[in-house]
Amino acid sequence: MGKLFVKKPLSLLLAEANDTEKGLKRTLGAGSLIALGIGAIIGAGLFVRTAAAAGQHAGPAVVFSFIIAAIGCALAGLCYAEFASMIPIAGSAYTYSYATMGEFIAWIIGWDLVLEYALGAATVAIGWSQYLNKLLGKLCGFTIPYQWAHSPFETSDAGVHGIMNLPAVFILLLLTLLLIRGIEGSAIVNNIIVITKVAIVILLIILGWQFINPANHTPFTIPADAGSVTMHNGTVINYADFWYHGIPGVLRGAGVVFFAFIGFDAVSTAAQETRNPKKNMPIGILVSLAVCTLLYILFSYVLTGIAPYKDFLKEGGEASVAYAIDKYMIGYSWLSTFVTIAILAGFSSVILVMLLGQTRVFYSMSNDGLVPKVFSKLHPKYRTPYRSQAMFFVFVSLFAAFVPDSVVGDMTSIGTLFAFVLVCLGVMVMRKTNPDQPREFKTPWVPFVPVLGILFCLTMIVSLGWENWTRLIVWLLIGFVIYFGYSVKNSKARKL
């Protein structure tokens, strides 16, 4: 039983981090890390989750929902920053757990991160496909046939059955090839995408501010007597229910918009490809989180001021932002086209960083002997885990092409929140077991900050419902079969 919790020595981790000849190529600076973080964070959450949380739960007070979710992420982010500066190696929460809580816990979190990164990339690729069709319809007057842009489990109102989602596979292939070519080139492309979508978000905030109707912000939270509304998909929302008005609605809204922050932790997976990681990793994690939080608060305030929150459910749907612009910002219909472009750009950068994070976690797990060596095989020229990248392209594409986003989407959050909990716990463990280890960045007010981070994350985990817990348990059982069938026999830490 003791072998289950064997820890990887910190000295060995640091030796691996300093091996620049055989390891991943260090090319990223603080600016690229900040852009990677913003690229991972700003995506579906900003353009889709804001309207969903406002319409269903929080109303204009979705601003406070973002603040609550941001506090939870910031607490975890402070813990991530300490680990990233102390253990600057690929693997993120997996690596940190291996050094603090042992191999079995590390395996659980490494396997669990597949839910965040791989399935997250699949979900966003499906959304990218839908918005590409919207843009093609606006600009070119035609769309990709329904059957080639949806899974076999979906049927249109006209009775057309989906076959496979080709656009989703296309964007995954394009970004996979970019990552195989090298992270430096990928970072340049990501920087361009980030500049584009942030510029459009800021433009919408500035232009939309003059269209804010104070009546839409009164009352700021949804009152219990707000009645009910039938959503565009036929679902009836009754605002008298506990989680659909007032402070409870704001809290549930925080759980919804939490998805908008998924991705900042992916910055830590690039630690082994970062110049001066002890300094640059905390900057990348915390600054990207701070920038996105500020944009989220301003964006949500403007959006709920432009249109009444009920509109987001009745008519807006997924394209609520474009709808609000077209209906209420008279003379700025061109902006909705640019917003659609920003959404496509945002989705692309999210997929890019998710695919990057996934392969870097498995790169570390492969080096530790927990998964086959193929996942750590580097390209002779580009020094990227190209075979792992290709294999995950196939894996992610199968979900994106043949499975609806409703099945894989919510599973992403459990993996993320679980990772946050273990990182917060790991900081406290490491302070006890390695108090003298140099820390370029130290999480303030330990244990208060980590404990508060754990409580925030556990609260959001509880709200996710039994369906997601069931899927998580099944996924973990599959992981246990692989761990006890392969990993325990090949673990390098067990042989030290």
CATH value at residue 303: 1.20.1740.10
Can you give the pLDDT at residue 100? 80
Across the chain, mean pLDDT equals 82
To the nearest whole percent, how much of the chain has pLDDT over 90? 18
Q: Are 311 and 300 in contact (CB under 8 A)?
A: no
On the question of pLDDT at 148 being above 60, the answer is yes
Residue 276 lies in a domain: yes
Residue 23 lies in a domain: no
Q: Is the pTM of this model over 0.95?
A: no
DSSP secondary structure string for all residues of 231-293: -TTSPEEETTSGGGSHHHHHHHHHHHHGGGGTTGGGGGGGGGGBSSHHHHHHHHHHHHHHHHH
Residues 402-427 pLDDT 10s: 887 656 656 777 777 877 888 899 88
On the question of pLDDT at 111 being above 80, the answer is yes
| Host domain of residue 261 | 29-480
Residue 488 lies in a domain: no
Residue 16 lies in a domain: no
Can you give the pLDDT at residue 262? 74
Helix (H) or strand (E) holding 381: none
Ranges 403-407, 440-444, 457-461: which has the least confidence: 403-407
DSSP secondary structure string for all residues of 133-176: HHHHHHHTS----GGGBS-TT-B-TT-PBP--BHHHHHHHHHHH
**Alpha-carbon distance values, 114 to 107, 464, 465 (Å):** 11, 18, 20
Residue 345 lies in a domain: yes
On the question of pLDDT at 393 being above 90, the answer is yes
To the nearest whole percent, how much of the chain has pLDDT over 70? 87
Can you give the pLDDT at residue 106? 87
Q: Which of 72-81, 187-196, 276-285 has the highest mean pLDDT?
A: 72-81
Q: What's the total number of domains in the chain?
A: 1
Residue 111 lies in a domain: yes
**What is the mean pLDDT of the segment spanning 61-89?**
85
On the question of pLDDT at 233 being above 60, the answer is no
Q: At what angle do helices 103-139 and 166-181 cross, to 10 degrees?
A: 120
Can you give the pLDDT at residue 242? 80
Residue 185 lies in a domain: yes
Distance of alpha carbon 206 from alpha carbon 387, whole angstroms: 45
